[in-house]
Structure 1
């Protein structure tokens, strides 16, 4: 315990009286703690009650302290508490100024200064003899604490040259010294936690002290005027900034009347004070210009007394930039305090630099008082420090002018290190500052890549958490948004040395988050040590190791524990029509229901029929069959594709939902749970549905064409002449069947199956979930593209039109067979009696068909209608094949031409296609 600390002295006396289980340091630690780590007010009061309960007036003091704690900082309340008991048993033996001197003498010094200190250059300096202080007028000594390993006598001689003030202060009563010292400390604490002006503070102090006189009046110290450039709240940082103190000044010495040796001694003394921010008489700082911008805001201009010897003045002018740079650094440190973790950590490193600088000044003062220092020697000693300090000042000013914060500060420092190649001293210092400034950022990075947790109160980290807190704000498809939007990279928050690894850092934390949400405990394989080092990229290997660990863990969760491949097989089995028997049984069961208008279709009926079909087909052994469900969309496939492709004029824009049948709006959907939903998310399922709807619709058309082929068996009962009329209809039906079946075969056998096998083979070698997502997306995109669902909507429309004309033709054939309205066919019907076997095949089906409300146009014969269907279908098919051919010419990598060769296998449509191409070319 330091004897010069009045607060510790009071606490020690009280603890000794009550034998309380505390120490002065432990009590000070609790009262100095930040708001988050501080004990509640009632517990702090309990500590004070325990240590002061033997004092007769402790109840009144505790009541007063309780009121102060409600409105002021706990440290201020502790100082008031110590002040109340200081009159009873505390008698100091030194003034406040000597207290500061003793604290300097007893504070530890760094083992190695980051600056070029005088101890490195002048190791032979001795401080064993005790010399008397000079009686010449001196400036106000700085109270900024310095670290030192010298003796208390040497420091007291070097730092406090004010003998007359010390003697006058010692002559006053010790009680007044105690009260004054505590009041000064109390004033600093209140300034540190309040933005009030000095006048309002004195009002509060007078009220808290019950009308007692302030310390400045007791000690005879004149009240301080507002500082020249720094707000009051920064005064607790011990930043003098050439603070002007009026009144009780010593008589000014005429510098011109002194000999050269005395001038040098006086100017050296003032110069050392000036380097620490203390205003002097012969080296005076110019008041800063409030309108100054740029570097001028952080520069200090000095005016040297004109009566000083010219040679000395020139040497002084060479040293004064160091004072300007040092004070500029102090201004920036005080102005940026609390502006983020990176800035705070940088300021902490600059404070250590400040201690080293004060050590340098202390050593210079020692030599000065031993009559061993000249201004030339001081310049020689300070020259390396001047260069380094200028570089630090320039770097900090650039950061301040650019308003850099967080990662931008680290980027600026990193670039500065590169530009300082060749200047080892300055580069080494900037590397040390950067390493210290990067510590909080590296701690956030370590927590993210080790546990997937973000602790970033100041929004400085490169990963941003966009978590939705309220359940009513959750998006409809959270799994899609989770992977893409939950965690995002803020590009302007990435330090330059981490920019290449930002995506890997993002994925590492995302993987760990998914693993944690699956209920698994994340245990890192090894301890991580992350530290900025421009000469070594060890942190890169740490990031890579964390990434591969997280990737392997999540991949194991998806593939082994949640059977991702089994779910993908089930999706292919149902949504890509890979389970043939199930597809046919389902269409047989649901055909009547799906042929209705979409508003008349009952989803519950479809669900029941789906469940029945799943259990009757070979799909009954699928463990994930219950994840399959039916869905009725409010639009057909063409409208959906038009919306996706952002078409201004949609093909089906005028069609209303009432005109759509259930078969046009029907689709399967597949529901999965977390974390499989990361891969089979809503977007992926939507792509599967688009493929399913096109395949399912083509399969429906094929079934209708097969049905009229079966019903056309009635033509066997016609006479040869009548059957000849049906031949054109049979030919057209076969051409339609050939086009639709080849289209299905092309999509299922030539596109989906090969891409699926490629996907499965690549899945065997995946290393992380991002590869899984990319491969799965590539598989779906390739299928959609080659199935003509993404290139442009006109191909999809052409397929839809072909299917529509086929369905209309099937409907026409069924009506013509039902009513025989064509006169030629009616007269040629054979009168012979049908065989019993043929009757059993055709008549029951005819009797079960519902009667159609419309009939054929009496003006058109059967052959004319068939010819019209033939012309319309042929035109649509030739246009479709021509579009595919033109597209294949632009992109030969696609497989579109395979479909052309399948449909036009015998060049039946070639001549007509050539004519169409010539017609288009001629306009």
Structure 2
């Protein structure tokens, strides 16, 4: 391979890739004689004497044993393999392989495409280029060396990725971390190349040893090349991490060393992202200058600190909209921990805004494929502020007492509260809402609350709604079709408009904010209507109008009783059958909850079930039907009170029968609606809805029968 006694300077020049013109000039110098005549040049070509030119070579090989080929745009000299011994072929092949493994061109190892085409293909496709050996090599040598030829393309692909990334200022931290991890691992590959070249120079290396030592890197660089190909795509940091982790998980590693090497690279690449996660989940700070994190602070993006807000600024809506989740920036291997990560940092900031001090976690966070230690750390970092926030709300702000007040007042379960409110507001409830004064209504409510020994009763407020209950429910459910049905302009009376509010401040409003309170308000308005109608029916014939006795018959009294029992059992269905057991279960969770989210999720589930099962919110027509039915009952009360005792009994009975038919017709339509809802719930597998409908059908069918049906 290396001619004996070759001058070092001249050997360096021979190894250099000459251009065509430079090569011609050098060859003329090498083969020119001292006198320059053609005869002496001919003899010099076969002699072993030294040329007197500066670039002459001692014992220069014969001219016919050299071939000059274009390799990558340069002409390099190479010996004719057919005139070499097997030992020299092996040494030459080893040398060419070592250089080829580091991307140096070789005349005996060529790609399947033209050299000028290599410059035109992308670095991503270099790993797919196949290389072949010169057929003049021994078949045994080619059989050994062919196994390692793909290493050339893999190396070029990986090395070009490292260089491109390091020369690109705007590349993401994840891609830069991948290039850095590749570079650290490739250092071992470079060390192997240096060792192989040293062994070759010391004649301690044969082709089998070369294959044995280089073979482990074949799988490594193949995987690295695939990872580099993924990183060159149009993906952000989280997507790149997901693809790399997925690629690692799909590999069936048979070599433990290879698995450990790739796992280390993946761990190094994820370190930058996991540091952002650690800072957010354990400190509540977002440091994301390159916009790679899945949590975005809409208030102060890309800052490392937050300042205390004024009480007016700090509310549920503020915290609900301050942080934004960007799912495409969350790696797949963190998807199951995404909610805990988001809430951990959010709760830390909420506690900080509430001036709550606590000892924060300081535990390093990293991701190792196949291990779950990072999930345990993230869970701990979430539970710490979630438990603390629950503790602050329960112990310092008496959340449990406020929740009981909702049951007592919004669901009308405080003893005597509903009757007292109806009595004191009797005249106002019968008036048009335009004639009511909110301040007057609030003073009447305050008067009712005076007898209760409740330290938070002042948080209860009166509100006069401008829309009917069906419209409010429709808007709450965001149902456009129902909104179109009920958003007509209606003239509301006090009993239709009166609603209760519960005014709480931060941080109680984190749980008791507008949305759950509005759901409870819808139920409260329905219950207030049912109680009001039942009260009006119960006082019929007990309070004569202007001292004149009212006409009363068995049929009119029976209709009054049917109406009253109907209102009572509609109320009992909503409160006793639907609400009571669920609220009791919720209060048990309040006592046993370990984190604020356990309480909040159970609270929302309870309200959803009360609204969905008690008012059959899948069809707001049911709520509208209840108010229409109630209006029929109130109209009947007005009819009875308008007929003095001396009026015509026949006409009175005729009017009673008309109201009886109208009431029965509405009851029948409600029953039909509930039956349809029961059928649709049954077909959809909604057992709770079906059972609620069946219970309601049973109550209405049993207590609201007409006289004819009762006799039969």
Q: 1:605 to 1:302 in 2, by over 3 A?
A: same
Match of 2:327 among 470, 479, 490: 490
Q: Distance in 2 between matches of 1:417 and 1:888?
A: 48
Deviation at 1:435, TM superposition (A): 1.5
Q: Distance in 2 between matches of 1:243 and 1:685?
A: 79
Give the unaligned 5+ runs of structure 2. Answer: 1-5, 18-25, 27-69, 302-311
Deviations 1:193-223 (Å, cap 9, x if unpaired)? xxxxxxxxxxxxxxxxxxxxxxxxxxxxxxx
Residue of structure 2 equivalent to 1:277: 103
Q: Distance in 1 between matches of 2:528 and 2:638?
A: 19
Q: Distance in 1 between matches of 2:256 and 2:81?
A: 43
Determine whether 1:537 maps to 2:412: no
Deviation at 1:440, TM superposition (A): 1.4
Match of 1:450 among 252, 261, 282: 282
Alignment of 1:370-385 (within 5 A): 370-385=202-217
8 Å CA contact retained: 1:300, 1:324: yes
Aligned length: 630
Q: Distance in 1 between matches of 2:411 and 2:662?
A: 30
Residue of structure 2 equivalent to 1:503: 339
Match of 2:489 among 656, 675, 684: 656
SS in 1 for 2:413: coil
Match of 1:824 among 644, 648, 661: 648
Determine whether 1:556 maps to 2:556: no
SS in 2 for 1:812: helix
Alignment of 1:808-887 (within 5 A): 808-817=635-644, 824=648, 861-881=651-671, 883-884=673-674
8 Å CA contact retained: 1:343, 1:406: no
Q: 1:488 to 1:914 in 2, by over 3 A?
A: farther
Q: Which moved more, 1:476-485 or 1:679-688?
A: 476-485
Q: Which moved more, 1:329-338 or 1:341-350?
A: 329-338
Q: Distance in 2 between matches of 1:476 and 1:903?
A: 49
Match of 1:709 among 523, 538, 541: 541
Residue of structure 2 equivalent to 1:127: none
8 Å CA contact retained: 1:645, 1:790: no
8 Å CA contact retained: 1:322, 1:389: yes
Q: 1:485 to 1:590 in 2, by over 3 A?
A: same
Q: Distance in 2 between matches of 1:273 and 1:245?
A: 17
Q: 1:586 to 1:439 in 2, by over 3 A?
A: same
Deviations 1:768-824 (Å, cap 9, x if unpaired)? 22221222122222322342342423332332122101111222233334xx8x753
TM-score, normalised with respect to structure 2: 0.76
Q: Distance in 2 between matches of 1:324 and 1:824?
A: 109
Deviation at 1:684, TM superposition (A): 0.5
8 Å CA contact retained: 1:645, 1:792: no
Determine whether 1:465 maps to 2:296: yes
SS in 1 for 2:116: coil
Residue of structure 2 equivalent to 1:136: 11
Q: Distance in 2 between matches of 1:530 and 1:914?
A: 77
Q: 1:896 to 1:281 in 2, by over 3 A?
A: closer
Residue of structure 2 equivalent to 1:796: 623
Determine whether 1:602 maps to 2:434: no
Deviation at 1:556, TM superposition (A): 0.9
Q: 1:522 to 1:279 in 2, by over 3 A?
A: farther
Deviations 1:392-411 (Å, cap 9, x if unpaired)? 32343355468574354344
Match of 2:254 among 414, 422, 425: 422
Q: 1:901 to 1:307 in 2, by over 3 A?
A: closer
Residue of structure 1 equivalent to 2:451: 617
Deviation at 1:687, TM superposition (A): 0.9
Q: Distance in 1 between matches of 2:569 and 2:226?
A: 75
8 Å CA contact retained: 2:144, 2:207: yes
Q: 1:402 to 1:778 in 2, by over 3 A?
A: same
Deviation at 1:696, TM superposition (A): 0.9
Residue of structure 1 equivalent to 2:38: none
SS in 1 for 2:519: helix
Deviations 1:659-708 (Å, cap 9, x if unpaired)? 22233122111122223222222221111101110011122222322443
Alignment of 1:178-577 (within 5 A): 252=77, 254-255=79-80, 259-260=84-85, 268-279=94-105, 283=109, 286-289=115-118, 296-300=125-129, 318-337=147-166, 339-398=171-230, 400=232, 403=235, 405-461=237-293, 463-465=294-296, 467-468=298-299, 479=316, 482=319, 486-488=323-325, 490=327, 493-496=330-333, 498-524=334-360, 527-534=362-369, 536-577=371-412
SS in 1 for 2:500: strand
Q: Distance in 2 between matches of 1:715 and 1:647?
A: 50
Q: Distance in 2 between matches of 1:256 and 1:765?
A: 85
Q: Distance in 2 between matches of 1:140 and 1:823?
A: 128
Residue of structure 1 equivalent to 2:67: none
SS in 2 for 1:531: coil
SS in 1 for 2:501: strand
Q: 1:406 to 1:898 in 2, by over 3 A?
A: closer
8 Å CA contact retained: 1:698, 1:744: yes
Residue of structure 1 equivalent to 2:43: none
Q: 1:303 to 1:759 in 2, by over 3 A?
A: closer
Q: Which moved more, 1:323-332 or 1:580-589?
A: 580-589
Q: 1:276 to 1:347 in 2, by over 3 A?
A: same
Deviation at 1:865, TM superposition (A): 1.9
Q: Distance in 2 between matches of 1:765 and 1:396?
A: 51
TM-score, normalised with respect to structure 1: 0.60
Deviations 1:169-205 (Å, cap 9, x if unpaired)? xxxxxxxxxxxxxxxxxxxxxxxxxxxxxxxxxxxxx
Q: Distance in 1 between matches of 2:92 and 2:10?
A: 11
SS in 2 for 1:420: coil
Q: Which moved more, 1:570-579 or 1:274-283?
A: 274-283
Q: Distance in 1 between matches of 2:165 and 2:653?
A: 92
Q: 1:649 to 1:399 in 2, by over 3 A?
A: closer
Q: 1:653 to 1:290 in 2, by over 3 A?
A: farther
SS in 1 for 2:541: helix
Match of 1:592 among 427, 431, 436: 427
Cα-Cα RMSD: 4.1
Q: 1:522 to 1:348 in 2, by over 3 A?
A: farther
Q: Distance in 1 between matches of 2:478 and 2:99?
A: 75
Q: Distance in 2 between matches of 1:314 and 1:886?
A: 79
SS in 1 for 2:670: helix
Q: Distance in 2 between matches of 1:507 and 1:313?
A: 61
Match of 1:627 among 440, 444, 459: 459
Residue of structure 2 equivalent to 1:759: 586
